[in-house]
Amino acid sequence: MQTTTNTRSSWLHLTQIAIIAGIYVVLTVVFAPLSYGVVQVRFSEMLNYLALFKKRYLWAVTLGVFIANCFSPTWLIDVPVGTIGTLVFLLLSRWLAGKTKRRWLKFLIMGTLFTASMFTVAGQLAIVNHIPFWPSYASIALGEAISMGIGAVLMRGVLAVLPLDK
Protein backbone atom coordinates (compact mmCIF):
# COMPACT_ATOMS: atom_id res chain seq x y z
CA MET A 1 0.00 0.00 0.00
CA GLN A 2 2.88 2.38 0.78
CA THR A 3 4.23 2.03 -2.79
CA THR A 4 0.87 3.03 -4.27
CA THR A 5 0.75 6.13 -2.07
CA ASN A 6 4.33 7.08 -2.99
CA THR A 7 3.66 6.52 -6.69
CA ARG A 8 0.48 8.60 -6.57
CA SER A 9 2.31 11.35 -4.70
CA SER A 10 5.18 11.29 -7.22
CA TRP A 11 2.75 11.58 -10.13
CA LEU A 12 0.97 14.44 -8.41
CA HIS A 13 4.26 16.29 -7.89
CA LEU A 14 5.35 15.72 -11.50
CA THR A 15 1.96 16.92 -12.70
CA GLN A 16 2.25 20.07 -10.59
CA ILE A 17 5.72 20.72 -12.00
CA ALA A 18 4.47 20.24 -15.56
CA ILE A 19 1.47 22.52 -15.06
CA ILE A 20 3.52 25.34 -13.52
CA ALA A 21 6.23 25.03 -16.18
CA GLY A 22 3.52 25.04 -18.85
CA ILE A 23 1.88 28.15 -17.41
CA TYR A 24 5.27 29.89 -17.36
CA VAL A 25 5.89 29.01 -21.02
CA VAL A 26 2.40 30.03 -22.17
CA LEU A 27 2.53 33.38 -20.34
CA THR A 28 5.96 34.10 -21.78
CA VAL A 29 5.18 33.11 -25.37
CA VAL A 30 1.70 34.66 -25.51
CA PHE A 31 3.16 37.98 -24.37
CA ALA A 32 6.35 37.49 -26.44
CA PRO A 33 6.66 41.15 -27.51
CA LEU A 34 7.00 42.03 -23.82
CA SER A 35 8.83 38.87 -22.73
CA TYR A 36 12.00 39.31 -24.76
CA GLY A 37 14.12 42.34 -25.56
CA VAL A 38 15.25 45.61 -24.03
CA VAL A 39 11.79 46.68 -22.91
CA GLN A 40 10.67 43.66 -20.98
CA VAL A 41 7.87 42.84 -18.58
CA ARG A 42 7.80 39.06 -18.37
CA PHE A 43 4.52 38.40 -16.57
CA SER A 44 5.46 34.75 -16.10
CA GLU A 45 8.11 35.89 -13.61
CA MET A 46 5.30 36.23 -11.08
CA LEU A 47 5.47 32.45 -10.75
CA ASN A 48 8.89 32.78 -9.10
CA TYR A 49 7.09 33.31 -5.79
CA LEU A 50 5.87 29.71 -5.91
CA ALA A 51 9.42 28.55 -5.20
CA LEU A 52 9.09 30.02 -1.72
CA PHE A 53 6.48 27.41 -0.83
CA LYS A 54 7.72 24.09 -2.19
CA LYS A 55 11.09 23.08 -3.61
CA ARG A 56 9.38 21.29 -6.50
CA TYR A 57 7.99 24.66 -7.62
CA LEU A 58 11.58 25.88 -7.92
CA TRP A 59 12.19 23.12 -10.46
CA ALA A 60 8.89 23.88 -12.20
CA VAL A 61 9.76 27.54 -12.73
CA THR A 62 13.30 26.68 -13.83
CA LEU A 63 11.94 24.19 -16.38
CA GLY A 64 9.47 26.82 -17.58
CA VAL A 65 12.28 29.34 -18.04
CA PHE A 66 14.36 26.78 -19.96
CA ILE A 67 11.52 26.03 -22.38
CA ALA A 68 10.37 29.66 -22.72
CA ASN A 69 13.92 30.82 -23.44
CA CYS A 70 14.07 28.38 -26.35
CA PHE A 71 11.66 30.83 -28.07
CA SER A 72 13.88 33.83 -27.35
CA PRO A 73 15.49 35.69 -30.27
CA THR A 74 18.75 35.31 -28.32
CA TRP A 75 18.03 31.69 -27.35
CA LEU A 76 21.61 30.53 -27.86
CA ILE A 77 22.77 32.52 -24.83
CA ASP A 78 19.36 32.96 -23.14
CA VAL A 79 18.74 29.24 -22.61
CA PRO A 80 21.89 28.48 -20.58
CA VAL A 81 22.41 31.87 -18.90
CA GLY A 82 18.71 32.58 -18.22
CA THR A 83 18.01 29.10 -16.93
CA ILE A 84 21.06 28.91 -14.68
CA GLY A 85 20.49 32.48 -13.48
CA THR A 86 16.90 31.69 -12.57
CA LEU A 87 17.90 28.55 -10.69
CA VAL A 88 20.63 30.39 -8.76
CA PHE A 89 18.36 33.28 -7.79
CA LEU A 90 15.48 30.97 -6.84
CA LEU A 91 17.83 29.03 -4.56
CA LEU A 92 19.27 32.24 -3.11
CA SER A 93 15.78 33.68 -2.59
CA ARG A 94 14.56 30.53 -0.83
CA TRP A 95 17.61 30.51 1.41
CA LEU A 96 17.37 34.19 2.37
CA ALA A 97 13.57 34.13 2.70
CA GLY A 98 13.91 31.09 4.98
CA LYS A 99 15.46 33.40 7.55
CA THR A 100 12.11 35.13 8.23
CA LYS A 101 8.58 34.00 9.04
CA ARG A 102 6.96 37.11 7.59
CA ARG A 103 5.45 36.34 4.19
CA TRP A 104 5.59 39.97 3.01
CA LEU A 105 9.32 40.04 3.78
CA LYS A 106 9.87 36.78 1.88
CA PHE A 107 8.13 38.36 -1.11
CA LEU A 108 10.17 41.54 -0.75
CA ILE A 109 13.42 39.56 -0.62
CA MET A 110 12.55 37.59 -3.74
CA GLY A 111 11.22 40.59 -5.64
CA THR A 112 14.32 42.61 -4.85
CA LEU A 113 16.73 39.80 -5.74
CA PHE A 114 15.03 39.08 -9.05
CA THR A 115 14.87 42.76 -9.95
CA ALA A 116 18.59 43.06 -9.22
CA SER A 117 19.31 39.82 -11.14
CA MET A 118 18.33 41.38 -14.44
CA PHE A 119 21.98 42.21 -15.02
CA THR A 120 22.13 38.73 -16.56
CA VAL A 121 19.55 39.67 -19.21
CA ALA A 122 21.07 43.11 -19.81
CA GLY A 123 24.49 41.47 -20.16
CA GLN A 124 23.17 39.02 -22.72
CA LEU A 125 21.62 41.81 -24.77
CA ALA A 126 24.81 43.87 -24.53
CA ILE A 127 26.86 40.95 -25.84
CA VAL A 128 24.52 39.66 -28.53
CA ASN A 129 22.81 42.85 -29.74
CA HIS A 130 25.50 45.40 -28.80
CA ILE A 131 22.99 47.35 -26.71
CA PRO A 132 24.37 49.65 -23.98
CA PHE A 133 24.34 47.74 -20.70
CA TRP A 134 23.14 50.35 -18.16
CA PRO A 135 20.08 51.70 -20.03
CA SER A 136 19.12 48.12 -20.87
CA TYR A 137 19.58 47.04 -17.26
CA ALA A 138 17.45 49.93 -16.00
CA SER A 139 14.65 49.12 -18.42
CA ILE A 140 14.66 45.38 -17.79
CA ALA A 141 14.98 45.75 -14.00
CA LEU A 142 12.02 48.13 -14.01
CA GLY A 143 9.98 45.58 -15.99
CA GLU A 144 10.95 42.86 -13.53
CA ALA A 145 10.00 45.06 -10.58
CA ILE A 146 6.60 45.65 -12.17
CA SER A 147 6.08 41.94 -12.81
CA MET A 148 7.20 40.92 -9.33
CA GLY A 149 5.12 43.68 -7.72
CA ILE A 150 1.96 42.60 -9.54
CA GLY A 151 2.87 39.00 -8.79
CA ALA A 152 3.14 39.67 -5.06
CA VAL A 153 -0.34 41.16 -5.00
CA LEU A 154 -1.80 38.33 -7.09
CA MET A 155 -0.02 35.68 -5.04
CA ARG A 156 -1.56 37.09 -1.90
CA GLY A 157 -4.98 36.50 -3.46
CA VAL A 158 -4.02 33.01 -4.62
CA LEU A 159 -2.80 32.11 -1.12
CA ALA A 160 -6.16 33.15 0.30
CA VAL A 161 -7.78 30.44 -1.86
CA LEU A 162 -5.04 27.82 -2.26
CA PRO A 163 -2.86 26.84 0.68
CA LEU A 164 0.35 26.51 -1.36
CA ASP A 165 2.49 26.54 1.75
CA LYS A 166 0.69 23.58 3.33
Q: What is the pLDDT of residue 3?
A: 62
Residue 2 clears pLDDT 60, i.e. is over it: no
Q: Which structural domain range is residue 117 located in?
A: 2-161
Name the domain count of the chain. 1
Q: Establish if 166 belongs to a structural domain.
A: no
Q: Establish if 132 belongs to a structural domain.
A: yes
Give me the long-range contacts of 32-39 (CB less than 8 A, separation at least 24): 32/71, 34/143, 35/68, 36/71, 36/72, 36/73, 36/74, 36/78, 37/73, 37/125, 38/125, 38/129, 38/131, 38/135, 38/136, 38/139, 38/140, 39/139, 39/143
14-29 average pLDDT score: 97
Q: Establish if 50 belongs to a structural domain.
A: yes
